[in-house]
């Protein structure tokens, strides 16, 4: 696992956007796994700016969802399909045909989960998967004590996650669904390059447990330690509880430029 400490969220977004740009340069039809929430927005803004300036050609890129609420009506503005279309697909100038995600309104949710896992494999697998992290250490919606071998499935959200997400629903927790479809931890680890971005002091404890703690289902993000090419990008606030922060700074500063992110 590589840990990169950046000054702030904007710098983190720019760094990861550069990594995506490099990927698209060598593989124009790369499958990009995207996350929702406020944390990855600097990535999408930086990448959209590169596309708008002509520095990056994303015309053949493909986009896939990490997770989706169960039970929200089609077209609901806070369904993750709507969010991804609004925040990623449209700003990059892509069509909806380039996008794939699980069907959270399916009558048979379990079948929808299995179909999505199969669709990702048939698409050639995810080349780069963006991740955020919950205050309890979850990635995607793999809540604490999720199986580290889990595949795409339905999950029940913890009360803390529903509280955290209420801000997207007019601060009304009653509007936040209880269930989601999420890529499992095993599915996430299938991605060729998972990149986790964490910003703010509120994520510091989860980051420390993910990076320096044991691999344990109580901190689902710690499973990234098992991946041969996982990157964790954190701002100074989110890095504040890392015991090895100085080492991470030194190793990144000494990294050969040709290695990229």
The pLDDT tens digits of the residues spanning 208-243 come to: 999 999 999 999 999 999 999 999 999 999 999 999
What is the pLDDT averaged over residues 122-149?
95
Residue 27 is part of a domain; what is its CATH number? 3.40.50.1360
Nearest to 113 by CA among 138, 83, 140, 87: 140
Other Cβ atoms within 10 Å of 37 Cβ, number? 17
| 261, part of any domain | no
What is the pLDDT averaged over residues 44-71?
96
Write down the pLDDT at residue 75.
Answer: 84
Q: Write the CA distances from 240 to 1, 5, 40, 69, integer angstroms.
A: 18, 10, 20, 32
The yes-or-no verdict on residue 12 having pLDDT over 90 is yes
The yes-or-no verdict on residue 74 having pLDDT over 80 is no
Write down the pLDDT at residue 18.
Answer: 97
Contact, 232 vs 242, CB < 8 A?
Answer: no
What is the pLDDT averaged over residues 69-93?
91
| 23, part of any domain | yes
pLDDT > 70 in the chain, percent: 100
Q: Could you tell me what percentage of the chain is helix, strand and coil, using 3-state DSSP and rounding each to the nearest 5?
A: 40, 15, 40
The chain-wide mean pLDDT, for the chain, equals 95
Write down the pLDDT at residue 23.
Answer: 98
Torsion of CA 207, 213, 215, 219, to 10 degrees: -50
**3 state DSSP class of 2:** strand
| 150, part of any domain | yes
Which residues are bridge partners to 234 per DSSP? 5, 198
The yes-or-no verdict on residue 99 having pLDDT over 90 is yes
| 260, part of any domain | no
What is the number of domains present in the chain? 1
| 174, part of any domain | yes
Q: Could you list the residue range(s) of the whole structural domain that residue 51 is in? A: 2-255
Q: How far is CA 26 from the centre of its chain?
A: 22
Write down the pLDDT at residue 243.
Answer: 98
What is the pLDDT averaged over residues 152-162?
90
Write down the pLDDT at residue 260.
Answer: 86
Write down the pLDDT at residue 157.
Answer: 86
Q: What pLDDT digit, counting tens, does each position of 103-119 carry?
A: 998 999 999 999 999 99
Nearest to 63 by CA among 2, 22, 20: 20
Contact, 138 vs 144, CB < 8 A?
Answer: yes
Pairing mode of beta strands 62-65, 2-6: unpaired
> Catalytic residues, which ones?
67, 136, 138, 143
**Segment (H or E) for 95:** none
Confidence band of 73 (pLDDT split at 50, 70, 90): confident
| 70, part of any domain | yes
**3 state DSSP class of 190:** coil
| CA 37/CA 138 separation, integer angstroms | 13
Q: What pLDDT digit, counting tens, does each position of 173-217 carry?
A: 999 999 999 999 999 999 999 999 999 999 999 999 999 999 999
What is the pLDDT averaged over residues 9-34?
98
Write down the pLDDT at residue 257.
Answer: 87
Write down the pLDDT at residue 2.
Answer: 97
Other Cβ atoms within 10 Å of 106 Cβ, number? 16
The yes-or-no verdict on residue 121 having pLDDT over 90 is yes
| 143, part of any domain | yes
**3 state DSSP class of 161:** helix
The yes-or-no verdict on residue 164 having pLDDT over 90 is no
| 201, part of any domain | yes
What is the pLDDT averaged over residues 161-172?
89
């Amino acid at each position: 696992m590589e840990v990169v400490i950046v000054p702030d969220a904007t710098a983190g977004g720019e760094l990861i956007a550069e990594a995506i740009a490099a990927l698209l340069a060598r593989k124009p039809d790369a499958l990009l796994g995207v996350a929702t929430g406020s944390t990855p927005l600097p990535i999408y803004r930086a990448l959209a700016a590169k596309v708008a300036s002509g520095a990056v050609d994303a015309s053949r890129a493909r986009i896939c969802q990490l997770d989706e609420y169960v039970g929200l009506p089609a077209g609901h503005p806070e369904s993750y399909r709507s969010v991804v279309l609004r925040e990623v697909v449209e700003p990059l100038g892509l069509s909806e045909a380039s996008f794939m995600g699980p069907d959270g309104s399916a009558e048979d949710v379990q079948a929808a989960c299995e179909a999505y896992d199969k669709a990702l494999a048939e698409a050639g697998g995810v080349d780069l998967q963006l991740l955020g992290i919950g205050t309890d250490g979850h990635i995607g919606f793999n809540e604490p004590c999720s199986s580290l071998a889990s595949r795409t499935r339905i999950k029940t959200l913890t009360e803390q996650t529903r509280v955290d997400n209420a801000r997207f629903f007019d601060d009304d927790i009653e509007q936040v669904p209880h269930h989601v479809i999420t890529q499992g931890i095993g599915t996430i680890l299938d991605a060729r390059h998972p990149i986790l971005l964490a910003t703010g002091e509120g994520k510091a404890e989860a980051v420390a447990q993910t990076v320096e703690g044991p691999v344990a289902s109580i901190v689902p993000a710690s499973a990234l330690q098992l991946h041969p090419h996982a990157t964790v990008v954190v701002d100074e606030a989110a890095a504040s509880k890392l015991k090895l922060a100085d080492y991470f700074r030194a190793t990144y500063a000494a990294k050969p430029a040709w290695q990229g992110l």
